[in-house]
A and B are shown apart, each in its own frame.
Chain A
Amino acid sequence: QSVLTQPPSVSAAPGQRVTISCSGSSSNIGNHYVSWNQHLPGTVPKLLIYENNKRPSGIPDRFSGSKSGTSATLGITGLQTGDEADYYCATWDSSLSAWVFGGGTKLTVL
């Protein structure tokens, strides 16, 4: 059972938009910045979003992040087959004194 709750899977057609939710509490999302990582098993995980809504250099603006209260959302527009991967939200949990991940959401581009 992960501290941060994500849907196990989402799917959409190429070109469409999808959102992935991440729900936490006041000890984690409520008081700390959220980041999002993209991971295709067997490859190097990639940082997509940091500090709730900032994109590292090289990450296309099709990827966006937002946070409200104790929840965060990753948005992906103009879906491409290359976006198929697992997506993880993450932040620090000050009650646990631990970095925490969501359980991961598998994106399928139909």
Chain B
Amino acid sequence: EVQVVESGGGLVQPGGSLRLSCAASGFTFSTYWMSWVRQAPGKGLEWVANIKEDGSERYYVDSVKGRFTISRDNAKNSVYLQMNSLRAEDTAVYYCARGGYCTTISCWSLWYWGRGTPVTVSS
């Protein structure tokens, strides 16, 4: 059974940092792109970042570039999101999901998702 479990969310002050973790199981982790997606209160889903199977490619939504860093440890079947210089608008539930990349001939849809971890940025 595929499982994706996020952790590390919480309350942080503006300008602060937080590191989210995502532990995956039930599939060959090292052969899949992984993504972070967030949902702010009352808003829709917003993709945040993804990382290639071997970590050699990473992409970010413009609003987090230079502040967030996605990484992975295939030995631990885990993906991480280091969030720095946090702002109130980063407040959201953060989901980890398998997939989130396409080429012109293949696509890795966001297939399996975790339950999410809430992040609140407030003083």
Is B110 on the interface with A (CB-CB < 8 A)?
Answer: yes
CB-CB < 8 A to B100: which residues of A? Answer: 92, 99
Q: Are A91 and B61 neighbours in the complex by a CB distance under 8 Å?
A: no
Contact of A98 among B44, B61, B104, B109 (CB under 8 A): B61
Query: Contacting chain B: which of A17-25, A29-37, A73-81?
Result: A29-37
Q: Are B59 and A44 neighbours in the complex by a CB distance under 8 Å?
A: no
CB-CB < 8 A to B97: which residues of A? Answer: 45
Is A100 on the interface with B (CB-CB < 8 A)?
Answer: yes
CB-CB < 8 A to B75: which residues of A? Answer: none
A35, closest chain B residue (CB): B109
B61, closest chain A residue (CB): A98
Contact of A47 among B61, B110, B114 (CB under 8 A): B110
Interface size on B, residues (CB 8 A): 27
CA distance in complex: A43, B114 (Å): 9
Is B91 on the interface with A (CB-CB < 8 A)?
Answer: no
Interface string of B10-39 (1 = CB under 8 A from A): 000000000000000000000000010101
Is A2 on the interface with B (CB-CB < 8 A)?
Answer: yes
* Interface size grouping (class) on chain A: 20 to 34
Interface string of A38-76 (1 = CB under 8 A from B): 010100111100110000100000000000000000000
Query: Contacting chain A: which of B45-53, B66-74, B79-87?
Result: B45-53
Asked if A91 meets B107 with Cβ closer than 8 Å, knowing A41-B39, A98-B59, A99-B100, the reply is: yes
CB-CB < 8 A to B50: which residues of A? Answer: 99
Q: Are A33 and B61 neighbours in the complex by a CB distance under 8 Å?
A: no
Interface string of B82-99 (1 = CB under 8 A from A): 000000000000010100
CA distance in complex: A56, B2 (Å): 14
Contact of B47 among A39, A50, A101 (CB under 8 A): A101
Is A95 on the interface with B (CB-CB < 8 A)?
Answer: no
Q: Are B114 and A50 neighbours in the complex by a CB distance under 8 Å?
A: no
CA distance in complex: A78, B116 (Å): 31
Nearest 3 pairs between A and B by C-beta?
A92-B102, A33-B107, A35-B109
A residues neighboring B (CB under 8 Å): 2, 31-33, 35, 37, 39, 41, 44-47, 50-51, 56, 86, 88, 90-92, 97-104
